[in-house]
Every structure is written in C-alpha cells, then in structure tokens.
Amino acid sequence: MALFSVLQTTFLLASLSLRTYQTEVWSEPLPWAPESLKVSINSTRQCLHLQWSVHNLAYHQELKMVFQIEISRIKTSNVIWVEDYSTTVKWNQVLHWSWESKLPLECAKHFLRMRSAVDDAKTPEQRFWSNWSSWEEVDVQNSLGHEPLFVFPKDKLVEEGSNVTICYVSRSQQNNISCYLEGVRMQGEQLGPNVSMFNLNHVAFIRETGTNIYCKVDQGDVIKGVVLFVSKVLEEPKDFSCETQDLTTLNCTWDPGRDTGLLKQLSQSYTLFESFSGKKILCKHKSWCSWQVAPESQETYNFTLTAENNLRKRSVYLLFNLTHRVHPKAPFNVLFKNVSATNATMTWKVHTIGNYYTLLCQVDLYGEGKVTQHNISVRVDGEHLFGGLEPDTQYMAQVRCANANRFWKWSEWTCQNFTTAEAAPSEAPDVWRNVKSAQGDCVVTLFWKPLLKLQANGKILFYNIVIENLDRSSISKLLSIPAPANGTEVILDQCLYQIHVTANNSVGTSPASVIIVSGDPGNTEVEEERVKGTEDGFSLSWKPQPRNVTGYIVDWCDHPRDPLCDLQWKNLGPNTTSTVVSSGAFRPGVRYNFRIYGISTERVPYLLEKKTGYSQELAPSDNPQVVMSNLTSHSFTLSWKDYSTESQPSFIQGYHVYLKSKAGQCHSGWEKAVLSDDAVCCKYKIDNPKQKTFVVENLQPESFYEFLVTPYTSVGEGPHGAFTKVTTPDEYSPILIRIILPMVFCILLITIICYLKSQWMKEKCYPDIPDPYKSSVLSLIKSKENPRLTIMNIKDCVPDSIEVLNKQEGTRKSLTETESTKPTYLYLLPTETSYSGPEPCICFENFTYNQAASDSASCGHVPVPPKAPPSQLGLLTSPENLLKSLEKNYMNSLGEIPAGETSLNYVSQLASPMSGDKSSLPTNPPEPALCSEYKMQMAIPLGLASAPSSGSSSFSSITLLDEGEHYH
C-alpha cells in the first residue's frame, strides 16, 4: 500500500514537470510569424488588400504555411470574417491577400489581424499557431472631406440577381435623410448616428446606363446619388465552329448569346487561344474571328474561346482537322447557251482548293412549280444540259458545291434565270357562243377562253375566225381579232354556219376549234327549275339524252347584274349528267341562271334545261314602291307592278300587306301582327308572287289608315319601314264631285269664250262713248280747203239768255221713231233786236243720242255770220234731210263757203271739254244754262241753211224745240 502511494506521487510529479515544460515551449514565439503587415483599400472594387512577409527563413528555403485572418467591423469584438489562407512561403517573399466587402468600406471602420502556423511535411512537429498580430484599423471616413452627405458605393458593377448593400454617411446630427431607388423610397438599417445602410436583394436590369439611387435631406436641398450598373449574366458562347474556304484562313464563328446590356467599355470581350501553337488573339467582333493558318501546314487545331467581363469568365473548346472543315466558295460565271423551246445548256466555274480536291456540285432547276435536282462532280468548270423544257417558260437554275472527299458544308447558292424560245400553240381555244334573233338575223356573240401558258407556248398575238356558210359552201368570211380580246360579235342570216377559231403567236397557229351556228333558236320553251347553292357551288344534274351527243355545256354569268355579264361555260363529257359549278365570283343574294346544252354529233348545240338559284338567299333589303289608286270611302287599290322579282336577293314567295287603323279591328282574311316597335296592326298574306295589285276593302269613311307592303321569302321578309298614310273620303264626296266638276268645267268654258269674245260683247252690250273729235260727221265736212274746220268749243259761244223748258217725259220724241213721227226741227228764236256778243249761237240736235238728262245739260253757241238777218232764220231742215244734204255736198258746199264763215263750236253733252284740242280750252269756262233735255248734237256750216239776207246782225239764242213747243 505504501509502495502504491510512492508510485502515484512519482507519476504526478513527472506529469507536472512535463506540463510545465510544454507551457514554456508554447509560450515562446513562433520563429515564422507574419510581420510587416500593411493594409490598403480599393474603393472601386470595395476590397481590403493585405500584404505581409515572413522572416527567419533560410536562403532558398520554402515552407508551406497557413495564415488565419480575422476581420472585425465597427469594433474589434465584432468579428465578421475568419479565413485560413494556405500558401508556400519563400525567403524574402511579400505575401498578398484581398477581401471584398459587401458593405462599402466608407460606411464603417474595419479591423484586421492575422496569425500563422507551419503546415509542411518537412517539419514533423505538431502545428502550433503563432501569436495574433496587432489589430490594423481601416477608417475611410476620415478621408471623405467636409460635404454634408455621401452615398456609397460609387459606380458599382454587379450581375443581375445579386444582393447589394447601399449606405450613406451624413455630417449632420439630424437623422432626417431619405433614400430612393428609381424614385421608390427604401427602408434601411442604422449603423451609427450618421450612417445607415440599405440591403437590395436580387437587383434587376433596368437600363444600359445603370440604375439611379439617391438620398436627400428631407428639409433641405442636399441630394447625393450613385449609379448602380447591373449586368445581365454573361452566357457561354454557343455553336462555336471553325472552317476554311481556301486552306489559308480559318473563320471561327459562335453565338454570343444575349447581350449583357452594359455600355461598350463595360461589355464582354472574346479571346481565341490555340493550344498547339500557343498563339492567342483578341477578337474584334462578338460573334466571329479570323485565324491565319500556320505556314508549316498544321492540320490539327485545339481552340479555346473565352468570353470575359469584369464579373465573370466563360470558355468553350474545339478540336478539329483542317482538311475536314473545308467550306468552298460559291460558283461563279454561270451562263446558258443553246437555249431552244425545250432544251438549254448551263455552264459555271468553281474556285480551286489545293491541287487534288474534287468538288461535288448540286444543280437545281425551278420552273412551272416544279423542281428538278442534279449532282455533278467538277474540278474547275461545270456543265449540264436541261431537257424536256416547256416553250416560252422562264426558269431559274442554281448551283452550289462542296468538298467531294470530306463533306463539311455546301457553298452558297449561285442563281441565274433563263427563258425558253416560243413554239406554236398546242391546244385549240375553248369556244362558246350566245345567239340572239334581231330583225330576222342572228346576232352571234363568240367567246373564247385565253389559252393556258403551257398551251399557248408564247404570247398570243391575234385570233383568226373563219365563218363558213354550210348551205352555200363557196361563201366564207375571215376575221382577225387582236389579242387580248376574248370575244367578238357577228351578224348572220338564217343559214347554217360553221365557225373555226384559231389562236396565233409569233411561231404558228393553234389547232382550230369548230362550232356550228344555226338560225333555228331551238327549244326556247324550256321550263326553269330552281336549285339551291352551297358554299361549294351549285350542284346541277340533268336527264341523259336518248340520242347521240358528243358532250354537254353548262353556261352562266359570273356577274348577272352587269350588262357585260362575263359569260362562263363548262365543257362536260357525253356520259356526264351532273356537275358542280363553283366560282370565286359567286356572291350571296345574287340570282344565277344556268343553261344546259347538249352537243349533237353534227356539233350543233341545243338547249336542254334551265336552272336558277342563289348561292345563299338573303332577306329582301327593300320594299316595292306602292302606288295607291281608286280611293273611295270604303276601299282603295294598291299596286306595285314595277317591282322586279328577278333582282331580289332571294326567291319572292309572296307579299305581306300591313294595315294600321285607329279601330284596330281586322276583317276576314286579315290577322293581327305585332311589329318590331310593338305596334299592333293587321296583316294580309298574298301567296302568289306574280300578284302585284291588292284592293283594301271594308274601310270606314273619313277614317285614317296606314299601309305597308313587304315581300317575304324563305329567309325572311322585307324591312318594316315607314308606313304610307291615307284618309278615306266621306260617302257623298263622289256624288258632289260628279256634279261640281261639270259645273266648274262649264263655267270655265263660258269664261274662256267670254274672254275671247270680250270685244264683241263690249260692242254689243255697252259700247264706248264716241269721241266727238273722231266723229264720222266731222270727217265728212272736212276738206283740203277747210283744214281748220273743227268741233265747236264752249268758249266760242256765250249765250245772252237761256230759256228753261219743262215738258213731260211722254212728249219726248226720238229720232229712231218710225217715218210717221214728225221730225224734230231747228228753231231760231230771236229775243232782242240787238246782240252785243261776239257771234249768234245755234243749238243742234244730236243724232246719236236722244235721252233725258236729269240733272244738267249745256247748250253751246255756234258763231253765225253777222250778215244773216234774224228775220230769215227759221226752220232749216229735218235731221234726215240735213244728213243727206251734208253727204251730198261734201266737197262742193264746203268749197263755196268762205273760210271765215265756217267756224263752228261743238256742244258737249256733258258740258265739259273731254276731248279735242285741250290747249284751246279755257281755264274757267262759263257755266252753261240748264236744259230740260239733251238733244242729238252735230256741227254744220251755217252756209247750208238757205236764209234771206237781212241787215240786222243781232241774233237770239237758238234752241231746238220739239213739236208743240213754243218760245216766249
């Protein structure tokens, strides 16, 4: 037991001595500790660059060591990065290490220290760390300057999708700064009293010129910002390939992928490195590069293509044999010779490649929608003959070549066009006709379809038409129609004619197309059958003909509403009894008429059937123009005879007559209908489309109605447009019209007759008062010897007294009485023995009038020669005898009377100067004396009264007295 205690004590002492020795060894400094630490800053890349050295190494001694580096931020205890850096240390070597900070170095203080350890197999001792070096402080804020605000990092370049930290440093104590990313405010984290940072995750590419970030003081005008350049991820080059055309130059190409979206100075670059030769070139283009082949005829190449920018590097590799990458140049000098209507020879040349290379050339010929291909082996020149070509056809030939020994790629195509020569047309024109009768002749319109290009074999210049009279074979006619006409019109008689039509080009004439035209119009009473069209066209069928036929022809108009019609036809075989007619010109709502003809063995066409239909029926777009007539109190008639059913967009099946009335009652045959505007009216259905008149009956007199006529079809009826208004008259209006109209006509006729005979009516019923100056009596007594003879004026006769005579109306006599009536005489009544007036006056009876004047009259004075004594004045003569005497002595008696004794004054019936020489009338004529009556008046020369001479020159008033009247 004692021995165990002694041994235990001895072991503990030994252990303690060993521990003490180890502690002393570890406490000694490692002889290869890092020394001369220096820290520098790269603000552009935000990197800390550390350099140091290891002393105590022997000359040419190399030692593998590990250096542990610690980085703290803001304070030394806040360690943010620890890294072990292994390297081989040489004598007197300066070591370098860099660290990129995520946070801009300007935004916080950084501290750095390191220690080392030997990690080399040459030193079997256990690895021990050296002591830590002292902390190296990095504070960039001290060198920023005195500006109030800073934003970092400046002009930083990152890849799209990266995380970026932004910070600002403010010299102001107030924390009132806001930061924005492209105008959007960012939320940050405060690092210190004047420093804040902002973490941007997965930044996106916005524009080539960069992303704008700025900070500003909220209550100031201080703004600071930076540009963050975001690059798209650099892609690896694709489709990297190299080839040669002449064995002297290699052309390498690749697809660079999408652009990084950076400015040119920041964009990627490409380098090409060949490992066997060790040559390296910087490519000037992003997608291709040229490499000169080595003169020592190197055949194998190993290329490395590297794409690189400031953020990333990508590389691809290519190993190949030069002779296997030959891409020949395109052939040249392609020519055609010996070109005919059906053959042509093509020649070309190729670029030589070395001395022993054979090329395989591929020749393609394009024409008439077909492609033919041929392969030919050539060394220098190539040649190929094309046969079986179409006349007057344009072809395109192309050729390319490749290395026949080691095929790599075809060369580029070389193309050339050529046209074959013309030949005579190979087919007869397709001819048809349309026959019409006009004034005993046949008007034949010939139509022909232009030959297809393969049939014409050249440009058609004209068409020859030969018309042969089969009844008189010696008679024929030749017409030449220049192209591109496709028809002509000829007038023939009722004979049978054979017409030949040929097409001609510059080389020759086509076979003739023969058609027979007869004066007999054939079966014109063929009933028309309706057919229904579809999207594919019209399906037509007909009965087979019992007699021999050589074929059938179906014709129609593509544009039936056009006067030119654009006639089309279709030739069918003799065993065909149905066909489908389709055309791109068919339109919905247009009626198409089809005629089916059989062609006899004598080539005479005859009409078999008629078809009509629509490709698609449409509802009528307009209503007929209705004319109303025969309006009575109980009915009226509607007619629309000008409404054409042929031009409608569908088959008219009948008509609907709509009638509106205030009563709203529908009579027998009518039914109630509700219109689109919810109006209720009566409707009558006319089932016969040919009926275009309708009588609306059972109406009420003096009532208001509205009507509308619309056609209806299988797809609908016409539009419900405006109604026509009508009001029925009362029942008695027709009777009154039958009475009033004849009366009005008679009155109008009488008025016209009276107007035409107005002058005659005036003369017979109310003649004009004669103008004394235009009296026939005056015209009798005027003569050349007495030109101054005129009508008596009142101013020339001044009566010295007027005798007023009263008489009964019954005693008044008229000159128009019978011969048994005692005529009226002229009396001269002297009243004084002397007369101081200018001349004596005579009063005459007027032979024209013999009527009473109730109110006033005047008696003029006629100057009488003073030589006539009053004792000789007495009864002169009767009026009848006086007129006779005047007429008898028209020229003689007036000539015998002296000019001075023929002065006469006219006595006006109305005692006013109404006519004559108005300038000779007095301004204020004397008032005439009233007379009991007016007598007929006339002017006579005094010389006509045979009275004895007297010495007295005094006369009294002259008064005309009837029988039984006396003077006083």
Residue 800 has a pLDDT of: 54
Provide CB contacts within 8 A for 921, sequence distance 6+.
793, 794, 795, 913
| Tens digit of each residue's pLDDT (9 = 90 or more) over 511-520 | 999 999 886 6
- Are 536 and 580 contacting, i.e. CB atoms less than 8 angstroms apart? yes
Q: Please state, in angstroms and rounded to a whole number, the distance separating the CA atoms of residues 421 and 395.
A: 12
Confidence of residue 965 (pLDDT cuts 50, 70, 90): very low
Q: Please state, in angstroms and rounded to a whole number, the distance separating the CA atoms of residues 666 and 677.
A: 19
Provide CB contacts within 8 A for 32, sequence distance 6+.
54, 55, 56, 57, 63, 65, 89, 116, 118, 130
- Are 151 and 213 contacting, i.e. CB atoms less than 8 angstroms apart? yes
Q: Please state, in angstroms and rounded to a whole number, the distance separating the CA atoms of residues 959 and 954.
A: 16
Residue 586 has a pLDDT of: 92
Lowest mean pLDDT among 464-478, 680-694, 794-808: 794-808
What residues form DSSP beta bridges with 661?
A: 705
Nearest one of 907, 828, 846 to 882, comparing CA atoms: 846
The alpha carbon dihedral of 276, 281, 283, 284 has a sign of: negative
Q: What integer best gives the mean pLDDT of the chain?
A: 78
Q: Please state, in angstroms and rounded to a whole number, the distance separating the CA atoms of residues 156 and 211.
A: 10
Q: Is the pLDDT of residue 944 over 80?
A: no
Residue 916 or 77, more confident: 77
Q: Is the pLDDT of residue 266 over 60?
A: yes
H helix count then E strand count, the chain: 7, 55
| Tens digit of each residue's pLDDT (9 = 90 or more) over 830-846 | 444 444 444 444 444 44
Query: CA 225 → CA 163, 169, 176, 178, 206, distances in Å?
Result: 19, 12, 16, 11, 17
Neighbours of 269 (CB within 10 A): 12
Residue 704 or 914, more confident: 704
Q: Is the pLDDT of residue 348 over 70?
A: yes
Q: What is the DSSP letter of 22?
A: H
Confidence of residue 1 (pLDDT cuts 50, 70, 90): very low
Q: Please state, in angstroms and rounded to a whole number, the distance separating the CA atoms of residues 217 and 215.
A: 7
DSSP result, 525-569: -PPEEEEEEETTEEEEE-PPPSS-EEEEEEEEESSTTSTT--EEE
Q: Which residues of 871-884 are buried (b: 16+ CB within 10 A; e: fewer)?
A: eebeebbbbeebbe
Matching residue, tokens 């075809």: 410
Q: What is the DSSP letter of 317?
A: E
Q: Is the pLDDT of residue 949 over 50?
A: no
Chain mean position to CA 557: 29
Nearest one of 632, 564, 558 to 590, comparing CA atoms: 558
Share of the chain above pLDDT 70, in %: 74
- Are 140 and 213 contacting, i.e. CB atoms less than 8 angstroms apart? no
| Tens digit of each residue's pLDDT (9 = 90 or more) over 180-205 | 999 899 998 888 888 899 999 999 99
Give the β-pairing of 110-118 and 156-159. unpaired
Q: Please state, in angstroms and rounded to a whole number, the distance separating the CA atoms of residues 178 and 224.
A: 11
Q: What domains are defined for the chain?
A: 35-142 (2.60.40.10), 145-231 (2.60.40.10), 238-324 (2.60.40.10), 332-419 (2.60.40.10), 431-614 (2.60.40.10), 626-734 (2.60.40.10)
Q: Please state, in angstroms and rounded to a whole number, the distance separating the CA atoms of residues 242 and 298.
A: 14
Confidence of residue 938 (pLDDT cuts 50, 70, 90): very low
Residue 510: exposed, middle, or buried by beta-carbon count in 10 A (0-12, 13-18, 19+)? Answer: buried
Mean pLDDT of 887-908: 41
| Tens digit of each residue's pLDDT (9 = 90 or more) over 305-347 | 999 988 889 999 999 998 889 999 999 999 999 999 999 999 9
Q: Is the pLDDT of residue 753 over 90?
A: no
Lowest mean pLDDT among 89-93, 364-368, 772-776: 772-776
Give the 3-state secondary structure of residue 285: coil
Give the 3-state secondary structure of residue 293: coil
Lowest mean pLDDT among 138-152, 575-589, 662-676, 810-824: 810-824
Mean pLDDT of 880-898: 43
* Count of residues making up the chain: 968
Q: Is the pLDDT of residue 175 over 50?
A: yes
Residue 271 has a pLDDT of: 94
Q: What is the DSSP letter of 103?
A: S
Q: Is the pLDDT of residue 474 over 90?
A: no
Q: Please state, in angstroms and rounded to a whole number, the distance separating the CA atoms of residues 803 and 144.
A: 157
Helix/strand/coil percentages in the chain, nearest 5: 10, 40, 50
Residue 816 has a pLDDT of: 38
Nearest one of 211, 199, 203 to 107, comparing CA atoms: 199
Mean pLDDT of 780-785: 50
Residue 878 has a pLDDT of: 46
Matching residue, tokens 């489908």: 580
- Are 131 and 114 contacting, i.e. CB atoms less than 8 angstroms apart? no
Phi, psi angle pair for 249, to nearest 5°? -135, 135
What residues form DSSP beta bridges with 362?
A: 375, 400
Mean pLDDT of 923-951: 41
Sheet holding 591-600, edge to edge: 567-572, 549-557, 591-600, 605-614, 528-534, 537-541, 578-581
Residue 756 has a pLDDT of: 83
The alpha carbon dihedral of 934, 935, 940, 943 has a sign of: negative
Residue 381: exposed, middle, or buried by beta-carbon count in 10 A (0-12, 13-18, 19+)? Answer: exposed
Q: Please state, in angstroms and rounded to a whole number, the distance separating the CA atoms of residues 643 and 305.
A: 86
Q: Is the pLDDT of residue 614 over 90?
A: yes
- Are 657 and 668 contacting, i.e. CB atoms less than 8 angstroms apart? no
Rg (CA), the chain: 71
Q: Is the pLDDT of residue 417 over 90?
A: yes
Give the β-pairing of 149-152 and 269-274. unpaired
Residue 330 has a pLDDT of: 93
**Strand residue runs (E) in 615-728:** 627-629, 636-639, 654-661, 671-674, 680-686, 693-696, 704-713, 716-717, 724-727
Residue 537 or 937, more confident: 537
Give the β-pairing of 414-419 and 462-469. unpaired
Q: Please state, in angstroms and rounded to a whole number, the distance separating the CA atoms of residues 575 and 550.
A: 9
Q: Is the pLDDT of residue 889 over 80?
A: no
